Structure 1
Amino acid sequence: MSEILPMQEPVCVSDFEKYAEKFLPKNAWDYFSSGANACVSLKENRRAFDRLRIRPRILRDVSSINMSTTILGEKIDFPICVAPTAMQKMAHSDGEVATTKAAAALKTCMILSSWSTSSIEDVGNASSGLKWFQLYVYKDQSVTVDLIERAEAAGFKAIVMTVDTPYLGRRYADVRNQFALPSHLELGNYTKKYATAVKSDKDSGLASFVATLINSSLTWKIIPWLKSVTKLPIVLKGILTAEDAKLAVSYGVDGILVSNHGARQLDFVPATVEALPEVISAVNGECEVYVDGGIRYGSDVFKALALGARAVFVGRPIVWGLAYKGEAGVVSVLNILKDEFHLAMGLAGCSSIDGISKIMVAHETHYSKL
């Protein structure tokens, strides 16, 4: 798409969203923005953050603020990372290559989607920044193994297996649009047979793609198998309950990404930040826990870390930044969130990540009896 820049530079994440809605093609905008069914969980992902109150401490020395942390032993400059988002060339011609360059420039982590429109190799070669690879498990096991081996060879540092997609959620906008990947694009990580398989039909082309290729018979036994084919750390993406968090720990995973898939799979599931505390409690420090979904302000990052997340991942805002100005747009989005988080830490009285504690966040009902 051509870059038609607005008169005024964006000052917050929602400014990028407004731009993307105006200038992205309808097929692409509806794909990126929509949730499952009635979009109740999509709205709740945002509203749940709004229901949380920060309890700031005063008269603390915040003249120097350190936002750095580590994830799976790798240092990042601030705990705001890039979630896996498919088909980014629908937002900008540079797609995932622009995104990885932006994440590397700010010294944070990017997760590359299996369904990227740039190849694993192109993204791996584009930057030396920290990258993880998001994985679906396919009916054809050789496809899965091939993706893992290519990610390892390209320097990716972890495998993030999505566990909430035995079938694709019902997304009304994609059905109405008979969603298809634009004809000039293809999925970057597959042979020609699969790369152009997201085609329009009477439903959603992506739903048909998933039904054809994704293994819906998976059980927890997939974890030992995955460990047998890679030495990379394994993160499970899509856990929302204490029960599954405990199982994940028992199977020896290295991390959990609390996620409802951007509210695009099963509607009426909890908002991710509301599911986060029970997962943190169940894990009991035995693996790292991250969260995505609904993060639009630096104060959201503060709230998530106060509830126990080690880092947060953002998806849609990255796409909006791409639509605005490619790599520079993604840098802008990340910088805005980073600066807002820095300010939230300072105003809440925290000079380092370790100073952000659970007692600094309360649900709005805490104050309802006043």
Structure 2
Amino acid sequence: MVMDNKTFGLYFARFRPRILIDVSRIDMTTTVLGFKISMPIMIAPTAMQKMAHPEGEYATARASSAAGTIMTLSSWATSSVEEVASTGPGIRFFQLYVYKDRNVVAQLVRRAERAGFKAIALTVDTPRLGRREADIKNRFTLPSFLTLKNFEGLNLGKMNKADDSGLASYVASQIDRTLSWKDVKWLQTITTMPILVKGVLTAEDTRLAIQNGAAGIIVSNHGARQLDYVPATITALEEVVKAAQGRVPVFLDGGVRRGTDAFKALALGASGVFIGRPVVFALAAEGEAGVRKVLQMLRDEFELTMALSGCTSLKEITRRHIITEADMHRPVSRL
């Protein structure tokens, strides 16, 4: 199976902290696609959040706004773009799956734009759903009291029960397997929102994304649930960053469990990280208060890591602050 993203903190890097630096003031603010946020830790799209807590995406939206960071709403949310917008101000991105019926896609993108969403995170690694054995075993489907609210009224808001996974059957029937780079161009003709390409793991696809007008790259392996033997996101990150050559920002999605993980990603060139499972777990435990708490915990850990590494602002976090497994295998020059 794919290397579990939970090995992120153990597997990859060691710190090279700098000392005797005045760290009495730490600035964690940053700008993402022109929007200022309080820290480079944002919320990834996770589907069907009302399965975790009755307030679902409402709670997550309020918590992310209170934390001064970005929430990404899933296409498969159990709250609609309009409902999430109604929770109040906040910077929000919209994650998009491309359906076979492009009229549905165009309508949804325009609704997100009208609702004040600021960018599209186009998921590109799911022309077919990976073999999720737990879903098959449990015959997973959306509970009857919930719907995919963005598709309510389009006869696409419910999942039928299946002999294996209801989600897999839904994806097979609705998601467009012909999706290609030309569709990134097509999306640019129907929206003014910048498009982030989510699901990139290689230098080759990074260059193609930039050539086709992507405003940014999200390094993601879909929570390690799509294809076995792909690298952990932190392992793929530096290859993507080098290929981007600073032309667009690169973000990391997946595997972040501590503030130290976020620091490693920034040291390897990421402009920020997106967290998924920690938010859902916190939502299930304590609703909005839980999501607020997990964001505060990650913020505090990240700030402490910066201070103990001798960094007072994000621009001071560099590749020289970490040593990776690959570095350990390189010959050391003799003085």
Q: Tell me the residue number matched to 1:167.
A: 128
Q: Distance in 1 between matches of 2:110 and 2:294?
A: 32
What is the alpha-carbon distance in structure 1 between the residues aligned to residue 119 and residue 326 of structure 2? 39
Q: Tell me if 1:194 matches 2:156.
A: yes
- TM norm structure 2: 0.96
Query: What residue in structure 1 maps to residue 6 of structure 2?
Result: 46
Equivalents in 1 of 2:37, 2:136: separation in Å?
Answer: 39
Match of 2:315 in 1: 354
Q: Which of 42, 48, 60 is the equivalent residue of 1:81?
A: 42
Q: How far apart are the structure 1 equivalents of 2:270 and 2:129?
A: 27
Cα deviation, 1:216-260, whole Å, max 9, x if unaligned, reads 011111111110000110000000000000001111210110000
What TM-score results when the alignment is normalised by the length of structure 1?
A: 0.87
Q: Structure 2: how far apart are the matches of 1:119 and 1:107?
A: 21
CA-CA distance at 1:182 after TM superposition: 1.1
2:17 and 2:89 mapped to 1: Cα distance? Answer: 37
Conserved 8 A contact 2:8-2:256: no
Q: CA deviation at 1:48?
A: 3.8
Q: Distance in 2 between matches of 1:355 and 1:190?
A: 44
AA of the residue aligned to 2:283: L
CA deviations over 1:40-67 (Å, ceiling 9, x no partner): 23x1x23243221011000001000000
Say which SS state the counterpart of residue 201 (structure 1) adopts: coil
Separation (CA, whole Å) in 2 of partners of 1:167 and 1:346: 44
Partner of residue 115, structure 1:
76
Match of 2:140 among 179, 183, 193: 179
The residue aligned with 1:314 is 275
Q: 1:331 deviation in Å?
A: 0.2
Distance in structure 2 (CA, Å) of the matches to 1:355 and 1:127:
34
Report the secondary structure of 2:218's partner residue.
strand
Structure 1 segment 98-109 matched on structure 2, within 5 A? 98-109=59-70
Q: Is the 8 A contact 2:201 2:219 kept in 1?
A: yes
Contact 1:46 1:293 in 2 (8 A): no
Matched residues, number: 329
Distance in 1 separating the partners of 2:8 and 2:67: 28
**AA aligned opposite 2:324:** H
Q: Which residue of 1 aligns with 2:179?
A: 218
CA shift digits 1:70-90 (9 cap, x unpaired): 100100000100000000000
3-state SS of 1:184 partner: coil
Is the 8 Å Cα contact of residues 55 and 287 (structure 2) preserved in structure 1? yes
Q: 1:200 Cα deviation (Å)?
A: 2.3
What residue is the counterpart of 1:302 in the other structure? 263
Pairwise CA distance, 1:279: 0.5
Q: Which aligned pairs between 1:212-361 and structure 2 lie closer than 5 A?
A: 212-361=173-322
Q: Is the 8 A contact 1:49 1:273 kept in 2?
A: no
Contact 1:82 1:314 in 2 (8 A): yes
After superposition, residues 86-165 of structure 1 pair within 5 angstroms as 86-165=47-126
Is the CA contact (8 Å cut-off) linking 2:8 and 2:261 kept in structure 1? no
> Unaligned regions of 5+ residues in structure 1, if any?
1-37
- Aligned counterpart for 1:71 among listed residues 13, 20, 32: 32
| Rounded Cα–Cα distance in structure 2 between residues aligned with 1:314 and 1:191 | 27
1:58 counterpart residue number: 19
SS at structure 2 position matched to 1:58: coil
Distance in 2, Cα, partners of 1:260 & 1:322: 22
Q: Over aligned residues, Cα RMSD in angstroms?
A: 1.3
**Alignment partners' CA distance in 1, 2:91 and 2:319:** 28
Give CA-to-partner distance per residue, 1:330-360, whole Å, 9 cap, x none.
0000000000000000000000001100111
Partners of 1:195 and 1:204 lie apart in 2 by 16
Q: Is the 8 A contact 1:242 1:279 kept in 2?
A: yes
Q: For residue 9 of structure 2, what is the amino acid of its counterpart?
A: F
Q: Which amino acid aligns with 1:96?
A: E
3-state SS of paired residue (1:111): strand
Q: Secondary structure at the match of 2:86?
A: helix
CA distance, structure 2, for counterparts of residue 313 and residue 299 of structure 1: 14
User: How far, CA to CA, are the matches of 1:146 and 1:208 in structure 2?
Assistant: 23
Which 5+ residue runs of structure 2 have no aligned equivalent?
A: none
Q: Find the counterpart in structure 2 of residue 32 from structure 1.
A: none
- Quote the sequence identity (%): 54
Q: Distance in 2 between matches of 1:82 and 1:261?
A: 14
Give the C-alpha shift of residue 125 in structure 1: 1.2
